[in-house]
Structure 1
């Protein structure tokens, strides 16, 4: 549109210039004074004598004029193109702003959804804690009697102790009234010491009662399992030819054939799906590395579902591991062996991971047991609280690196690692594997890739933690 207007303006300028020059030439001829009669005669006479030069018209350089006009039109066209380019750049910037605003809105929505999910999980945990406390109170009432009776007993005992404490004070006051010296500061300090002793003994009594209740609940649960199994065995023995009643599926390796090793099918809850695990006595194996037959350089989906052969090298999977560690308190034992046959282990009092919405973090890691023989040292506490990272899902809190790619595996990395149980297996050149092998920093260093490593968990009683 603008280019057409510029062309019209250029044509108008050319026509105006041509008309102007033509008019100027006519005016010069019209304004010239009339020649006198004498001159005309002389000219007629001179025509016979020779040629006389006539008055010449003023010349106009049309080439220069057209060149200037062409240059001006070219400048206008260039300005038009520059303006069009600027408008296109502005349109692109506006489009980028719209896209970035849309991405920011999507990110804000995702953060709001994540916050809502976390809030729901916190409320669920609070509800479960409240129900657990109610169960403990109910068991305590069942064992030690109703709450009012226990409170009355405690009040009566405390009243007796206070009366026993007040007697020496009255004796001291009577002695002072008969002539002895009365020192109220000494009496107050003695009373405070007695009260402190009473509070300490009360606290110890409450703690011991809690331990007893917890132990009783575990014993009752174990006895209920045994009773159910015995009832089914008795029923099957009375009806050998009838419909068979299979034993209930166990929920851990604890009661598996009195602790023999092997593969076991477990079911954590009546409504959950059953799956196979590898048992080492009452320990559940969650990770086993003995060769390079199975590659552990995998993506998020594989680590989420689990992979490998339960009878060989495998990883149980983050979903199953979260379900196991959420069903009960567990301890962790890690066993490893180098290529010279030296074995070592690392044991932690507690172990649990979070759910998928939190990116399966190492949410609970207890105290390292340094008193055990053949200890490998503590190379896992550094990773406590970290989210799980894989090659295609980087959650390692490292701004300029990807720890999973750096260590050729996966794990709970925090700005990289002090141990790498999911790294590459090196059957050769294991002492020069670098940080890509299966290393345990406090055992053989980061450049040494161990020959075997195995992670195992076992359910523990709450009394062992308190």
Structure 2
């Protein structure tokens, strides 16, 4: 009754002020929600690559600067990791990786929690772009990417990686050396004419490579999801992938080797928690983050380490550079990496 009286009183006041009352009038329209990712930024009219503000946690939260790629493959991508010159240190602790660091107009990491919020609201595709110091490039794409999608507390879940649907995204013009690694069997490749490739290994068996020009090296066994043998550095799968590459093949004297695609160096880490040097959540007895000088979804330990040291190409140290083992092995630190997602 009181509510009705108040409504009548309000109507009388409006009439007294000469304002007509329309019972069928539509309510005032609400402003559009703030952009949650770069695709929303594009939908609002932006068309150029560059830094924009997004609101992964909603309009009430603070905006987050991010680099938007609006040109690659004819799609719009939200970039969450970008490295190209080593100007920003990526050897950081848990809090930095959870919050994010760097600048969106330079090298940066968007932040685990922001990435979790983004991938929680829709299905996203991941694209990983790589470049070496010889200006060769390669890319890998994953049809489904999310962090801790079923966790009530994403941090307690370790921002676990959920990635599926790998497909290669092309390669440059020159082949990298046959990869080598810890805790698994290795297969090698031919080097210069008449000289077999030198394979460096710790606590593991080595298979060697080609000799005379045009000869084939020994082919590895069929790739399996799990290793067939344990060694001193733990269990990791072999370096031949679902898309078999020409790892270890020699070539005629004077001709360039055939370029391998990027290969799948991330599916091995599916289901793993994120680890940093001050929060060890991997499956290995020692800290993979400390051993690999990085922060990643380490298992025992890695096939990719894109947050490792920026070592500028070939390096003698094992697996602690900006590595993507399926493409360049564990002794080559890449020039550029970029990880980006788009909503499907």
TM-score (norm 2): 0.59
Deviations 1:52-97 (A, max 9, x none): xxxxxxxxxxxxxxxxxxxxxxxxxxxxxxxxxxxxxxxxxxxxxx
Name the CA shift for 1:288/1:413 in 2 (closer, same or farther; >3 Å): same
Q: Which residue of 1 aligns with 2:274?
A: 388
Q: Distance in 1 between matches of 2:60 and 2:102?
A: 26
Q: Distance in 2 between matches of 1:293 and 1:457?
A: 23
Matched, 1:425 2:223: no
Aligned residues: 214
Q: Distance in 2 between matches of 1:295 and 1:433?
A: 18
Structure 1 runs of 4+ with >6 Å offset: none
C-alpha contact 1:426 1:433 (8 A) present in aligned 2: no
Q: Which residue of 1 aligns with 2:170?
A: 373
Deviations 1:420-461 (A, max 9, x none): 01100013x63435311011111111111000000000000x
Structure 1 residue 252: Cα displacement: 1.6
Q: Which residue of 2 aligns with 1:285?
A: 79
Matched, 1:459 2:253: no
C-alpha contact 2:131 2:137 (8 A) present in aligned 1: yes
1:24-63 matched pairs, under 5 angstroms: none
Q: Distance in 2 between matches of 1:329 and 1:273?
A: 23
Q: Which residue of 2 aligns with 1:441?
A: 325
Match among 344, 348, 352 for residue 138 of structure 2:
344
Structure 1 residue 320: Cα displacement: 0.4
Structure 1 residue 277: Cα displacement: 1.2
C-alpha contact 1:408 1:423 (8 A) present in aligned 2: yes
C-alpha contact 1:389 1:413 (8 A) present in aligned 2: yes
Q: Distance in 2 between matches of 1:448 and 1:432?
A: 9
Structure 1 residue 384: Cα displacement: 0.3
Matched, 1:254 2:39: yes
C-alpha contact 1:326 1:352 (8 A) present in aligned 2: yes
C-alpha contact 2:323 2:334 (8 A) present in aligned 1: yes
Q: Which residue of 2 aligns with 1:397?
A: 283
Deviations 1:127-146 (A, max 9, x none): xxxxxxxxxxxxxxxxxxxx
Q: Distance in 1 between matches of 2:122 and 2:318?
A: 37
Q: Distance in 2 between matches of 1:289 and 1:433?
A: 20
> Larger Cα Rg: Structure 1 or Structure 2?
1
Q: Distance in 1 between matches of 2:318 and 2:132?
A: 15
Structure 1 residue 246: Cα displacement: 8.0
SS in 2 for 1:386: coil
Structure 1 residue 398: Cα displacement: 1.1
SS in 2 for 1:417: coil
C-alpha contact 2:170 2:262 (8 A) present in aligned 1: no
The answer to which structure has the higher strand fraction is 2
Matched, 1:415 2:300: yes
Structure with more contact order per residue of length (Cα contacts < 8 Å, sep ≥ 6): 2
Deviations 1:167-196 (A, max 9, x none): xxxxxxxxxxxxxxxxxxxxxxxxxxxxxx
Q: Which residue of 2 aligns with 1:301?
A: 95
Unaligned runs of 5+ in 2: 1-27, 71-75, 149-153, 172-260
Deviations 1:237-270 (A, max 9, x none): xxxxxxxx98752122114235421111112334
C-alpha contact 1:330 1:350 (8 A) present in aligned 2: yes
C-alpha contact 2:119 2:145 (8 A) present in aligned 1: yes
Q: Distance in 1 between matches of 2:101 and 2:60?
A: 24
